Amino acid sequence: MASLLELKEIFRNADAVCFDVDSTVIREEGIDELAKFCGVGDAVAEMTRRAMGGTVTFKAALTARLGLIRPSYEQVQKLISDNPPQLTPGIRRDGFVQLFSSKGELVSRLQQRGVQVFLVSGGFQSIVEHVALQLNIPTANVFANRLKFYFNGEYAGFDETQPTAESGGKGKVITHLKEQFHFKKVVMIGDGATDMEACPPADCFIGFGGNVIRKQVKEKAKWYITHFDELLKELEER
Residues annotated as catalytic (active site), given as ranges: 20, 22
| Nearest to 198, CA basis, from 229, 169, 163 | 169
Beta-carbon contacts of 9 under 8 Å, excluding residues fewer than 6 positions away, are none
- Dist CA 227 CA 231 (whole Å): 8
Identify whether the C-beta of residue 124 lies closer than 8 Å to the C-beta of residue 30.
yes
Give strand ranges (E) for the chain. Answer: 16-19, 116-124, 142-145, 147-149, 155-158, 186-190, 204-208, 224-225
